[in-house]
Amino acid sequence: MSSQNNVTVIGGGIVGLACAWELAKDGASVIVVETGGSSYGTSLANAGWISPSHIIPFAAPGMVQTGFKNLIGRTGAFAMTPGAGPLLAPWTLKFARSCTDAHVDHCAPALKELLDTSMDVIEGLTETTDLKRTNQPQWYVYTSDNAEADAEHEVDLVTKYGVDAKQLDLATSLEQEPILKDSVKAVVEFSTDFGLDPGKLVEVYRRNCEAIGVTFRNEKVTGLSSTSRNVTVVTSTDSWICDYVVLAAGVWSRDLAKTLGENLPIMPAKGQSVTLPGVTNRPSRTLMLADQRIATNPLDWGFRMSTGFALTSSSDMSVNSKATEKLIATARQALNLPDKFEVKNELAGLRPASPDGMPYIGALPKAPRVIAATGHGMLGLMMGPGTGKFVSDLVAGRPVSRDVLKFSPARPRL
């Protein structure tokens, strides 16, 4: 990349910061535009997982039934709310068409490459900064009557694509992690997966960006216009011309793409997390409560639990106290939690969900100097570092693999 290139990254969450850092390392002059200053968007509400094993797209067999089952309660791991508006019906139809075995086979290799790339970047950051990770591999724990069969199916599914997973001896697992109840009937270990503090990760990225000369502007982008030679960025207070724009604004990327005549079919999917500092028996590793669809992480300052994928509106950022209560109550099905504890950091975030479960990474068809970096759903934190690498390759004109091209916004849509 020529040092004369200048790039504007829209969005200051983990994806935007990762893109900015990689582009700046490539020699670009980079501006990050974020609304609300250093809020980091949805990234702070994340469970804090780095999981190369998550190669199965969210649009997979069985997910449509899960969504409609949770429709009435609207507090399930995957649910739909009335606030989702008129975009819900066409999005759901495309999602349903994507929930096939053939779609999983198509997507898994690309998601694996993206996640493995993120893993390499994170490993580098843990070696060169004060970012820390949990050393113990991640466990999935199962409590249903079908626990053994479900665990075996999970292992068979992911090992097919090269993921290192194995079922563990139950008695030994319960002894190693006393927080697990006897209701747990099966445990699967993913050797490559671990956790970290999501706030610390974005802090490290922010510091790295500032150290390498990235400029931050606290403004709202109101529009974009693009030619074959450059892109004009219009904000609430200013406008400027740049060589490229990276669209990493999460769920709001859809509205900005519209100003260019593009349709990115992204739906906001609300997730919620809570941190419990008083859990003294917290585990030594990240745990996935597979039947409860709750992700957990033993942060230094508290026990983080996160869940939710409720399709909603882009204005629904409220923290739902009933959802928090249900989250804790549901976690008790598998975990020995204290009867009383302090609840801190109740957070909600909007996950940018694509209907096929694949992020959009690549040039917009009608505006090739605008690079999409959005639509990561629940996996923005763990896919962000790899996305930054891929975006810098695309802007620099370096060759990328055929699997990376599967993330293109120009890919076929069902």
Q: How confident is the model at residue 79 (pLDDT cuts 50, 70, 90)?
A: low
Rounded Cα–Cα distance for residues 300 and 190 (Å): 22
Q: Which helix (H) or strand (E) holds 139?
A: strand 138-142
Domains of the chain: 52-86+130-193+266-353 (3.30.9.10)
pLDDT tens-digit profile of 10-41?
Answer: 999 999 999 999 999 999 999 999 986 544 55
Percent of the chain with pLDDT over 90: 76
Q: What is the pTM of this model?
A: 0.93
pLDDT tens-digit profile of 35-67?
Answer: 865 445 567 778 999 999 999 999 998 766 554
Contact 303, 275 (CB under 8 A): yes
Angle at 407 (CA atoms; ends 210, 352), nearest 5 degrees: 65
More confident residue, 348 or 192: 192
Exposure string for 61-94, b = 16+ CB within 10 A, e = fewer: eebbebbeebbeebbbbbbbbebbeebbeebbeb
**175 Cβ partners below 8 Å, 6+ apart?**
none
Rounded Cα–Cα distance for residues 281 and 152 (Å): 28
pLDDT tens-digit profile of 199-227?
Answer: 999 999 999 999 999 999 999 999 999 99
3-state secondary structure of 182: coil
| Residue-level pLDDT at 78 | 62
**Backbone angles phi and psi of 306, in degrees to 5:** -140, 145
Q: Which of 195, 276, 249 is nearest to 372 (CA)?
A: 249
